[in-house]
Amino acid sequence: MNQIKTLAFDMDEVITDTLSKTITLYNQLFQKNITKQDLVGKRLSDTLTKEQAELLHREVDKEGFFRDLAIKEKDTKAILEELNKKYKVFICTAAMEVPNSLKDKYLWLKEELPFLNDQNFVFCGDKSILATDYLVDDSLYQLEGFKGQGILFTAPHNQLREDHSFVRLNNWNEVAEYFL
């Protein structure tokens, strides 16, 4: 009997476009006009002083910030729904970095991806504890400790990174091609 494969997907910058909302907040707080293109090869935090980083983190950690995130790409939901028919799909998010995001992310997932089993939502810090076959994530840090097959999802901060051996998928159509 073949056992069904398990797929874990990160939420921020894989399923949701958290960066766009964070950039909008950043631009409002600091009277800037940065874009995603300005962040190729670096994280937003690389552009901030310690005080600015603390202020931005406090704002992002406010209840409601993660409640209305935009979906990453127009086909993301449909592809996840198809994957869920073939694999056991988990959503794994490092929510411990932003404690107030837990409720928002849970409600967002229930509303936006109702076809997924909420028992497969994993809110954690270090994803090395995951025991899925695959992890699709934009963070090399999270992939490096993962024991299954890690897959790097392209985001501005990792776009220039070639110092890894992970399969790279650039968008959800490539996710569909790879897994379906």
Given a cut of 80, whether residue 1 has pLDDT beyond it is no
Packing angle, helices 172-179 and 76-86, rounded to 10? 20
Q: Give the amino acid at 174.
A: E
The total of other beta-carbon atoms located within 10 Å of residue 161's CB is 14
* Percent of the chain surpassing pLDDT 90: 89
pLDDT value of position 32 = 92
Cβ–Cβ under 8 Å, residues 46 and 129: no
Cβ–Cβ under 8 Å, residues 29 and 56: yes
Given a cut of 90, whether residue 46 has pLDDT beyond it is no
Spatial distance between the Cα atoms of 72 and 15, rounded to a whole number of angstroms: 5
Q: What is the pLDDT of residues 86-141, one digit of tens each?
A: 999 999 998 888 888 999 999 999 999 999 999 999 999 899 999 999 999 999 99
Given a cut of 70, whether residue 147 has pLDDT beyond it is yes
Residues labelled as active-site residues: 10, 12
Structure-block tokens of residue 84: 């869920």
Given a cut of 80, whether residue 73 has pLDDT beyond it is yes
Q: Structure pTM?
A: 0.93
Spatial distance between the Cα atoms of 99 and 180, rounded to a whole number of angstroms: 34
Given a cut of 60, whether residue 27 has pLDDT beyond it is yes
